[in-house]
Structures are given as structure tokens and as C-alpha cells.
Amino acid sequence: MSEFKELVFSGVQPTGNLHLGNYLGALQKFVALQESHECIYCVVDLHSLTATLVHDDLAEQTRSITAAFLASGIDPRKHIVFNQSQVMQHAELAWIFNCVARIGWMNRMTQFKDKAGKDRENASLGLLAYPSLMAADILVYRATHVPVGDDQKQHLELTRDVAQKFNNDFSGRIAELGCGVEMEVGEEKVNGFFPLTEPLIEGPVTRVMSLRDGSKKMSKSDPSDLSRINLTDDADAISRKIKKAKTDPEALPSEVAGLEGRPEAQNLVGIYSALAGVSRADVLADFGGRQFSDFKPALAELAVEKLSPIAGEMRRISADPAYIDGVLRDGALRAREKAETTMKTVREIIGLIGG
Ligand code: AQP
């Protein structure tokens, strides 16, 4: 039985400065997966148009995310790094997926509800269709694994629904052309063209929360800069933000169970454990019973130690935009070839003449 070849894909939007949430939820995992998998990492510039169409600095933001990828340790020669709009097959497959996915599926997406707010009628059609483009980003490479933060889980489920519906709707053509791969779906064995992609969400913090409010995720678009640690922050800014981070008055617990119902403590301990590469239980074995006034300086020191070299490397790489553009162009060339191989078969499955 043939199987889908394991391939990792993930993307990041150029919508502002990357923060610690992006780093721990995505970039750190991207780097680790390079050792075991073939990886494709994309700056998803077309996605950034869904919320704001006119950006003053889209090109600069795209270069800055690319610099963050490279500074974190992604190797653009061994793997592929590019920006989405240079590979038009993403948009082509997204259109097809717009016709596979149902409006009801899109209306249920919490990210759409959050971002559209009360004025849904006035949200862009692109914002509603965002998950369709995300499904296309992944499936145009028939990627099997996607490292993301917990906030993207629902979009990954939708990607699986799109793949499954496409596989079902075109099962006859897929069998006729012999282009399917056998896979298990529940109890059944089916022959599908697209894999049912697995999200890779595990880790000590799958959702880094705002430093000002432990119930909200750390986000680029939060109006308060104190709510997040930007990858470009210097040591002073990192220390100041951690010092000002919201906490409760209790000492840290000695057991992980004691973090329950204490969102801010949970968040800071999770950040420490992810940065140090140890479990939360290990962190609490060291800091249990101690006050935040002891813990925060240790966390700040660790964060500066881990993030400062990345900020320095980002500055160095960003000083050479021509180099960054070259990386993206080279990556796009290689990505396009893979995407076109998929699209040739998709067009054939559907019956679109042109090959
Ligand atoms: N707070 C977070 N904790 C863990 N992971 C996170 N990610 C984002 N925020 C957190 C993960 O980072 C990757 C890239 O995300 P993105 O920038 O493409 O989109 P986003 O989720 O919309 O990021 P933001 O910061 O929340 O941006 P805005 O404010 O513009 O909406 C994804 O894997 C995401 O899960």
C-alpha cells in the first residue's frame, strides 16, 4: 500500500511584529521539525489582505517575517522558504476549495467571528474564505503535518473536511486516473488524492496568552504593546514587560495541578518551560512556593538569553533586503514546481482542460 510522503507545511502572516506566541507556537517547532522532515515554510502575504487590503509596508513586513524564520534557524537551502503570492497555484486551488467548502463551515469559524466582530456584513469576502486559502496552502503540497498554535486548530479541522469532501466528491475520477493513495478514515479504507493533514499542536504552551490578560491570546493586533514580547524587543523591553505582567497575589504552586484557575501563573510557567525546554513540573520543582517577585527576574533573564540572539540576527539579515528577496525567489521557484505537479492532477480530476 502506498502512503503519503510525510511533508511539513506551515505559514505566518505578515501582519505585524512577530511575538513570543508566534515563536513558541510556531517558529520553534518549525526549526525542530527540520531535523526529521522535509519542510515548506511560507510567509502568507495573500492572507494578510483579508483584514486590511491597503498596507503601507507589506513588502517590508514580508521581509521581516522571512528574517525571523532565518534568524530562528530555518535553513532555506535544505528546506523551502517563500512568500505565498509568488506561487499562484495557492490561489487557484483556493478557488476550487471555495466551491468544495460550504458557507456554513466558514460561518462557524471562531476566528472569522472574532475578526469580523458585530459588523459581519462589512467584513471582506476574503476574511470569510480565509480557511479555504489556508487549506489550499497546505494541500497544494499534499502536506501531511502542520505545526501551528492552538488557535489554528479549527482551521486545520476544516482543511481535513475540505480534503475529505474533495476525495469523496471525486472518488470515481480519482479511481479512474489511479492517482489516489489508500488511507484509513475511521474504520474505513478510502482512496483519496488529498491527505487528511495532522496538526502538530503539542508542547508546554500551545497558546501563549497576553501578559496583560491571561484570558486573551498574545496577538500582534492587541493595541497594548505591553501585552506581548516582540521578537525585536531589546533586553530592557523584555524585562520591563515581564516585570509589568499581570499576576495574582499567591506564591507559585509546587504541583502543575495548582496552576488550575490561575491563568496568568499558568501562562508565565508555560512560557518558562517552553523557553527552557523543560516540563512545567520541573519549573515548579524549582520555583514552587516562591513569589512572582522571585520568578519574574528569572523568567526575564531566560527570555533575554533565548530571544536576544534572534533579534540580533534579524537585524543583521534585515539589513540586506536583496538577500531576503533572493531567498524568497529561490524558494518560490522550488515550491511552484511541487505545487504545479499537484495542480496538473487536480485539473485532470476535475476535467479542466489545459493540463
Ligand atoms: N498567542 C499564540 N500562542 C501560540 N501560537 C500562536 N500563534 C499566533 N499567536 C499565538 C501561531 O503563530 C502562527 C502564525 O500566526 P499568524 O501570525 O499567521 O496569525 P495569527 O494567529 O492571526 O497571529 P496573531 O498574532 O494573533 O495576529 P493577529 O493579531 O493579526 O490576528 C500560527 O501557527 C499561530 O497558531
Q: Is the dihedral of CA 140, 333, 22, 117 positive or negative?
A: negative
Q: What is the dihedral of CA 313, 316, 322, 325, to 10 degrees?
A: 20
Q: Are 283 and 183 members of one domain?
A: no
Q: How many CB atoms lie within 10 A of CB 218?
A: 25
Give how far Cα 186 sits from Cα of 40, 164, 178, Å.
Answer: 28, 12, 22
Query: Do residue 300 and residue 334 come from a single domain?
Result: no
189 & 292 share domain: no
Using most ligand atoms within 8 A of CB, pick from 29, 145, 151 the residue to mutate for ligand 1.
Answer: 151
Q: Is position 271 within any domain? A: yes
Q: Under DSSP, is residue 204 helix (H, G, I), strand (E, B) or coil?
A: coil
What are the beta bridge partners of residue 38? 7
Are residue 250 and residue 300 in the same domain, yes or no?
yes
H or E stretch covering 188: strand 188-192
Same structural domain for residues 28 and 170? yes
Report the nearest-CA residue for atom 35 of ligand 1: 149
Please indicate, yes or no, if residue 215 is contained in any of the structural domains.
Answer: no
Same domain, 48 and 72: yes
User: Over the stretch 14-57, which tens digit does the pLDDT of each residue have?
Assistant: 988 899 999 999 999 999 999 999 999 999 999 999 988 888 89
Catalytic, out of 153, 165, 220, 338: 220
Residues paired with residue 146 on neighbouring β-strands, in sequence order? 199
Is a pLDDT exceeding 60 seen at residue 1? Answer: no
CA distance 278 to 272: 8
| 193 inside domain | yes
Residues 19 and 38 in one domain: yes
Task: Determine the Cα–Cα distance for residues 302 and 113; give it in Å rounded to an integer.
Answer: 36
Instruction: Give the domain range for residue 65.
Output: 7-204+320-350
DSSP, collapsed to helix, strand or coil, labels residue 19 as strand
Whether residue 336 sits in one domain with residue 274? no
For residues 69 and 229, what is the distance between their CA atoms, to the nearest angstrom? 17
Q: Are residues 235 and 139 part of one domain?
A: no
Domain match, 26 and 155 both: yes
Mean pLDDT of the chain: 95
> Which residues make beta-bridge pairs with 42?
11, 82
The verdict on 128 and 273 lying in the same domain is no
Residue 1: inside a domain, yes or no?
no
Atom of ligand 1 nearest to the CA of 150: 35
- With pLDDT > 70 as the criterion, what percentage of the chain qualifies? 99
Q: Is 219 within a domain?
A: no
Please report whether residue 214 resides in a domain: no
Count: domains in the chain: 2
Q: Ligand 1 site: residues with CB under 6 angstroms? A: 12-13, 15, 21-22, 24-26, 148-149, 151-152, 207-208, 217-221
Among the listed ranges 1-15, 276-290, 301-315, which one has the minimum average pLDDT value? 1-15
Query: Rounded CA gap, 294 and 183, in Å?
Result: 52
**What's the farthest any 2 CA atoms get from each other in the chain?**
69
Q: Where residue 195 sits, what CATH number does that domain have?
A: 3.40.50.620
pLDDT-based confidence at 215, cuts 50/70/90? very high
Q: 116-144, pLDDT tens digit by residue?
A: 988 899 999 999 999 999 999 999 999 99
Residues 122, 243: one domain?
no
